Structures are given as C-alpha cells and as structure tokens.
Structure 1
Amino acid sequence: MCVGVMGTALASPLYPLYQSAWNLRASDITHIFVVYMFGVLVSLLFMGRLTARFGFLAILRIGLVLMTFGVALSAVVGGVPSFMFARLVIGIASGMISTSAATGMVQVGTGRDPRRLSAITTMAMTLGFGMGPLVGGLIAQWVPHPLQTAYVPSALMGLLAVYALFQLSVPVPVHEAPHGGSWRSAIKQWLPSIAMPPRMGRRHFWIASLGAFSAFGMFSLYASLAPSFMRELVPWHGPAVSGGTIAAILFLSSAFQFMVRQWRTKTIVVVSGFALAAANLLLAWTTFGRTALLFAASVLVTSFGHALANVAGMSVIGKLTHPGHRSGLLASYMIVGYLGTIVPILAVGWLADHLGLSQAVALFSYAIAALTAAVAVWAARTKELPVPDGA
C-alpha cells in the first residue's frame, strides 16, 4: 500500500520545472493535476463491484502494475499530452490501490479494533503519499535531468512490490459472477455503482465525506500549486523545499493519526473541521503577511486537520458497514473526497490566471474555512454512531 501510492504525488515538486520547460500557466498545472484526479474518480466508480467480484488482492496487484507503468512512463514523456496520459494511468492505479488495500486491511483484520485498523490504513497510505514528493524533490534539486531521474526510485520500488505481491496468497471472500440471466444482467455487473448507507447513517456519511472533500482539497492545493505560490510567499523555494513541505504535511498527518487513534469518532470529526478552518485562515493570512512563520503554522495545522479528517472518514465508514460490504461505500466516500481535489482546484487555477495566484489562494482558503467550520458545527449537533456487530 505504502509503495503503491508513492508515485501519486511524486510530480508535485516538479511542476515548476515542467512549467519552465513547457511554458505552462498556473491553470495548465491544475489541468494536469485534475487529469490525475479524474483517473482516480473513474477508478473509484468501478471499485465497489470489481473488488467484491475479484477480491482485494487481484485488484491491488493490477493497480500496482499500472502505477509502476505510469511512473516509468512519466520519466520518458516529451510533452503535455503524453504526461497527462501518464498521470491518468497513475490516477486510475491510485484509486485501485487505495480502495482495495483499505478493503483488504478490514477483511484480514476482522475482529480487531476498527479504530486501530482505520488508523493503520490511513497512516500507511499517508506515508506512501509523502515519500513520493520528498524523494522526488530531493533528487530534482541536486541530480541532473530531474524530470527523468526523480521517477527512478519509485519505479524500482514499484517493480519490487509487484514481485512481492504476486508471491503473496491471502484467502479472501469473493462473490461469484451470476450464471445465466439476460445480457443486461451480464453488463450490469461491470457497470459502476454508487453505494449509500442506510437512512439512519446518511447524515454521518455526508459529514465525513464533506470533511474529506475539504481535507483533500486543501492538500491538493499544496500538491498542485504550492511549488508556485511558495516562490511568492516564503523566501525559500526549489523542488526540495516544495517536496519537503508536501511530505511534511503527510508525515505529520501520519503522526497525528497515531496520536488520536483512541479518540471518539465524533470528537475527531468536530476537531478536524475546526482545525481545517483554522489552517485555511492561516494560509489566507499568509498571502497578505508573507511571513515564513504564518506559512509554517498553516502547514502544521493543515497536517493536524488532514489527519483527523482521514481517521474520521475511515471510522465512520467502518461503523456504517460490515467488512464484507465495505468496498462500495468506501468508494462512494472517496469519490466525494476526490471531488474536492477537482472542482476547487480548477477554480483556483482559473482565478490565478485572472486575479493572480495569491488572490486565488486567499479566496480558496476563505471558502474552505467557511465550509469546514459549518461541517464541524453540524457534526457537533449529531449523535455518535454505535459500532455495528461483527465490525
């Protein structure tokens, strides 16, 4: 899981280098980033059915193969169209890996503390997401041909992980394809599906999903445009600095996830909403104050809010479903979350072209701060979900 998602954010500290090499605007960078997210969404739409049909291990293997191919392809692209295709492949692979791995953790850990499983799952994925930009940024800062060499470690580790995963055998329950029936039934089993929780849990589902929407959107702002706006806001810049900043958010997020693993789900949801609101306000004020201290505070609080939003989401999904039926609702939750990486980021890219990057970041931050504060208040007025039997 950790190695599989390394390639997802690896390109983030390289975007200014692509911008210079290919004469790209801020909106072009957001379009490249959104192509990746579109791949994730397409993948998630099918994951509920495919994971249940073939089992998490088969989907995880295919996802890791695709991820390694996409990372290797990124190292040899010669222009925007081919780079977008590579990012699309990585996005599809990312959706397959994150959903199947999370489902697998639940299935092999049946009977264990669901809060602990949620924390382990999100920590592993977050560490993997952080390693990509950190390693890529360090290589891009000091090694020749950075747009090629930055991808080498992730590609090599992907090959090793593919080999190891194909040596693994885990007995998991899968649903047999129905025999006979009409051609419509045969086609239906391959079509995307959106799962929703029972009516009594829909309020909790939407609170968790909107928290993910905000947290994913906040992180995507750093991942897509941080290397560009850091040159305007703080005195340091370069692939190592921007990659280190993105990695710091994710590594700190992993540490915070471990710290709060025993908290009540409702407490985590409420605190995450207010933390993300504070993080966005700090980032908005950084665009005016332009001080390194404000920027560092924003990164720290973003990490805390991001951590709690991830743990809260996985915990809510765990309480709303039983292990054998979790993949569909998990995919629906992640679809809402990943929409937060597309719609707001496209808006920021458009605003950056017309108003300037600093103004665009400030408007984004104020909007997400209002949303997360509202979600926190909504969560505070909602009853705690009980843990279902057999979870």
Structure 2
Amino acid sequence: MARTTHRAGFALVALAYAATTAGGSVPTPLYVLYQRRDHFGTTMISVVFAVYVIGVIAGLVLAGAHAERVRRRPLLGAALAVQLLACAVFLVWPDLAGILTGRVLSGLSIGLLSGPATAYLIELRRRALPDGDPRQAEVVATAANLGGIAAGPLLSGVLAEWAPAPLRLPFLAIGALLALATVLLATVPETTDNRATAPARRPLDTAPGQRHLFVASCLGGLLAFAMFGLFSALSPSFLAGTLGYHSHALAGLVAFVGLGAAASGQVGLRKLPPRQAMTAVAAAMPVGLALLVAGVWAGSLGLFVIGGALTGGAAGLLFRASLTTVVQLSPPERRAGTLATLFVVSYSGLAVPVIGLGLATQLAGTRGALAGFATLALAGLAAVAAVRLRPDRPSDPVEI
C-alpha cells in the first residue's frame, strides 16, 4: 500500500488513537442498561472497571517492555485489532462474563496504544516539521486520547436513546471506525528501525534526573484520570440515581462535556506559560469540584454540568503538563519506559473514584462520598502544585 507523508501520517495516527480510546469508553452510558438486564448492582460496576484497569496496566507493561524493539506501526495495529476483538466480544457474548472479557480486552488495547502512539506522534511531527513547535505533538496526543474518551459515551448514549439495538449498534459503529483506522494506519510511514533482535527493556522506567518533578507528574496524571473516571463511570449513575435523569443521551452528553472540556483545553490553552497554566489548574479545579458537589447535594443538573466542565478542563490541562514534563525529562532511549510509567499511574486513577466512591457510598451515602472524594482530590492537587509552582530553576522544564 502506498505510503502517505509524515504530515498526513501524523493526522492518521491521531485518528487511530482517538478511535481506540473512543472504543474503550463506548460502554459508559450502557451500564445502566446492563444493570437492568442482568440485575447486578453498583459493586459489579466497580469490578467491571477494575478489570478494565488491569487490562490497561497489562498492555502498558507489555508495550513498555517491547516498544523499543517493535516498530511503531505494527504495535498500533495490534492495539486496534484487540479493540476490534473487544467490540466483537460485546456483540456475540452479551452476558456478564462477556462484558468482563470485553473490558479486559479493551483495557489491554488502550495499554498497548497509549505510550507508543504518543511516541509515534512526536516522531512523525519531528520528521514533518523539524523546526516546528515540539509541544504540538504532545498537545495532539493528549487531545486525541481525551477526545476519544469523550466521544465514545456521546456516540453510544445517542444511539442507545434513539436507535434500535442499544447494546449492539454502538459497538457496530465504533467497530466500523476502528476497521477504517486500521486500513489507513497501513499507509503511515514508519519512524523506527526494525529492532526485532534487540533485547526487551524494563517495561517501566523513571526519569534519570529531577525525580521530584517526575513523581509530581505521575501524581498529577493519577489525579487527572481520577477526574476522568468520575465522569466516564459515575456520571450516568449520579444522573439516574441522585438527580433523577434517566436519558441515555443525556448521560453520554454529560460525560462528553467533562471529558470534551479536558480535550479542548489542550488546544485553547497550549501557549499558556508553565506557571500560569498550573495556577489556572489550581484555581479552576477546586471551583469545579465545589460545583459538582453542590450540584449533587442540591439536585441541580446545571451546577453538575458546569462543575464537570471546569473540573474536566483543569484535569486535561494538568495531564498535559504531566505528559510534557515526562517527555522533557526523558532521554529518547528511555522515553517509552517513562511514558509507560506515567500511563500506568495515570490509568490507575480511573479505578479510584469507581471503587472508592462505590465503597464510600455504602457508608456515607452518595452525597457524603462525593464530598469526601473532592476533599482527597484537593489534597492531591495541593501536593502537585507545591512542586510545580516552585520557582523555576535553569535545569527545570520550561514548557508544559
């Protein structure tokens, strides 16, 4: 198949990245339907998300060990194929065991994709525009990741509300997009040599210097993804169980608002200087969390949505800061391992609100559990800000 230019390949890899992460988030508004059909409770939703995170971590470890000895395009193709397999499992094995299996496969796909796709975008951008802004690839990588996560619930929510076969059609639609992305990926030029004879590396690595910034970046990633988990996993249950809204389209839209704000913030605020960016996160996230909590306590959909948009935008900016700092701190030969570490810690954050709030709700109720979660999130934000807002030193990264 004829090869595209590096510039076109950059766009196609971003599309493949977004399509795969969208596939991973498609089930978000559908869990209410699965619960109604199979009569399982919120504890099982926590199990479903836990096995998804296990799949993600397994994929990240596998990709981190072999990313430097396997070329970029085959690794991304494998991730797309596994996500297609997950869609097929949801279609042909619709009971609880199939849901759990599909989520493990979906998580494995995301884990295989995240680090290598980010590295691939960076390399394609440098080949296409050697003198261009190096931050562009990192912004696009984060936007593709979060944009896909945001688009998945919106797609499945709309189809579940107004189209037939709500538990089948969303997977057929995203499967078609994944198949198209797989075909187009075959035209993207490779950016690495064939290193099949190279030994496997350690799957996870740390930055060789400035460990305080690396640790703060990983904690920032975990905090950001905990916010994403709050929107993607719990928005439908909050809307239905606490606020009394049962529309699947609305559940997908609310998740899209929070996650979409995270993605769009990457583009709109990409030129914000480092300290101003972190200051914006430190100012916006507490306000957003306060509005989320107030919306649940007062039963106000408007406050909940506005709070979700503010919190999501701040979380997206925080994750981009974390990603860019890790890239800058890592030499090229260790970048795959350090990115894998960042993504392992970050994706672990997806399970924090699902499992933590699920257990806390049984003790303190939904409103009390969400207030406690917001308090812990603000404590984590304070720890990250204490490191990121230190006076810049000459050796510190100067861009986020």
Normalising by the residue count of structure 2, what TM-score does the alignment of the two structures yield? 0.88
Counterpart pick for 2:365 among 333, 356, 376: 356
Counterpart pick for 1:36 among 47, 52, 56: 52
Counterpart pick for 2:93 among 57, 60, 77: 77
Deviations 1:50-72 (A, max 9, x none): 11110221110100010111022
Deviations 1:194-219 (A, max 9, x none): 201123x2111121211111110111
The question of whether the paired residues in 2 share the 8 Å contact of 1:3 and 1:128 is answered with yes
Q: After alignment, is 41-50 or 273-282 more displaced?
A: 273-282
Deviations 1:141-161 (A, max 9, x none): 112221112211101111111
Instruction: State the Cα distance separating 1:17 from its structure 2 match.
Output: 0.8
1:342 matched to 2:351? yes
State the one-letter code of the partner of 1:193: P
The question of whether the paired residues in 2 share the 8 Å contact of 1:287 and 1:362 is answered with no
CA distance in 1, matches of 2:299, 2:110: 34
1:320 alignment counterpart: 329
Counterpart pick for 2:285 among 246, 254, 276: 276
Counterpart pick for 1:54 among 55, 63, 70: 70
How much identity, in percent, do the aligned residues show?
25
Deviations 1:298-349 (A, max 9, x none): 1121121122112202210221123443111011011111121224421211
2:11 alignment counterpart: none
Change (3 A) 1:295 1:343: closer
1:211 matched to 2:220? yes
1:311 matched to 2:331? no
Counterpart pick for 1:129 among 149, 155, 168: 149
Counterpart mapping for 1:238-387 below 5 A: 238-381=247-390, 383=392
SS of corresponding position for 1:5? helix
State the one-letter code of the partner of 2:84: T
1:90 alignment counterpart: 106
Counterpart pick for 2:207 among 192, 197, 219: 197
The question of whether the paired residues in 2 share the 8 Å contact of 1:57 and 1:100 is answered with no
CA distance in 1, matches of 2:322, 2:203: 20
CA distance in 2, matches of 1:177, 1:270: 47
Q: After alignment, is 278-287 or 137-146 more displaced?
A: 278-287
1:102 alignment counterpart: 118
1:182 alignment counterpart: none
Counterpart pick for 1:5 among 5, 18, 21: 21
Instruction: State the Cα distance separating 1:221 from its structure 2 match.
Output: 1.6
CA distance in 2, matches of 1:219, 1:58: 29
RMSD: 2.2
CA distance in 2, matches of 1:217, 1:38: 15
Counterpart pick for 1:68 among 78, 84, 100: 84
CA distance in 2, matches of 1:30, 1:193: 27
1:140 alignment counterpart: 160
- Residue segments in structure 2 that go unaligned for 5+ positions in a row: 1-16
Instruction: State the Cα distance separating 1:75 from its structure 2 match.
Output: 2.3
State the one-letter code of the partner of 2:89: L
State the one-letter code of the partner of 1:198: P
The question of whether the paired residues in 2 share the 8 Å contact of 1:50 and 1:59 is answered with no
SS of corresponding position for 2:203? coil
2:10 alignment counterpart: none
State the one-letter code of the partner of 1:164: L
2:189 alignment counterpart: 169
- Residue segments in structure 1 that go unaligned for 5+ positions in a row: 179-185
CA distance in 1, matches of 2:381, 2:147: 24
CA distance in 1, matches of 2:393, 2:144: 26
State the one-letter code of the partner of 1:6: A
Change (3 A) 1:324 1:174: farther
Instruction: State the Cα distance separating 1:253 from its structure 2 match.
Output: 2.0
SS of corresponding position for 2:246? coil
1:151 matched to 2:171? yes
